[in-house]
Amino acid sequence: MSKKTDRRTVLNRILYFWGAITSLPIISAIIQFIYPPARTFIGSKVIGSVNDMQPNTSTVVQLGERPVIVITKDTGETIAFGANCTHLGCVVGFREERGDIYCACHGSIFNIDGQPVSGPAKRPLEKIPIEIENNQVTITTV
């Protein structure tokens, strides 16, 4: 092995090492984009009176940093989910005419229980606890 080859080998290793180190933030950003970190909801919020919740309707409210979709089923039961789609995080909406939850970004559909039915989202929506006290509906953290 000549001195020239040794020098080239060392320089190549330094370049590979430098390339690997400088690409770590890019790789990290791509991973966080594909698998966004789970966020926690902080606090609680009064949504309104039970009497104001019309069957087969929904509303999106902010709880902490994230939107929450509150749905009143046609049976009168009120449920809530984190409104960020489990695919890439777009805000989902309730389709009253179909009784499902739809993400317009890439077409994911969730059933009324937040389970993915079709589209690219494979994980269920995060269920948010609801409390009803003194006729007031409150969503809370866990």
Here the contacts of 48-52 (C-beta below 8 Å, separation 24 or greater) are 48/136, 48/137, 49/135, 49/136, 49/137, 50/78, 50/132, 50/135, 50/136, 50/137, 51/135
Backbone angles phi, psi at 47, to 5 degrees: -90, -35
Binding track over 56-75 against ligand FES, x by CB under 6 A: --------------------
CB of 31 to ligand FES, least distance (A): 17
**CB under 6 A: which stretch of 21-29, 30-38, 40-48, 102-110 binds ligand FES?**
102-110
Identity of the amino acid at 1: M
Binding flag, residue 108, ligand FES (CB under 6 A): yes
CB of 46 to ligand FES, least distance (A): 28
CB of 60 to ligand FES, least distance (A): 14
Q: Residue 3 or residue 122: which is nearer to ligand FES going by CB?
A: 122
Residue 125 in contact with residue 67, Cβ under 8 Å?
Answer: no
CB of 140 to ligand FES, least distance (A): 25
Which residue of 88, 111, 124, 130 would you call a contact of ligand FES, by CB under 6 A? 88
Distance separating alpha carbons of residues 72 and 80, to the nearest angstrom: 9
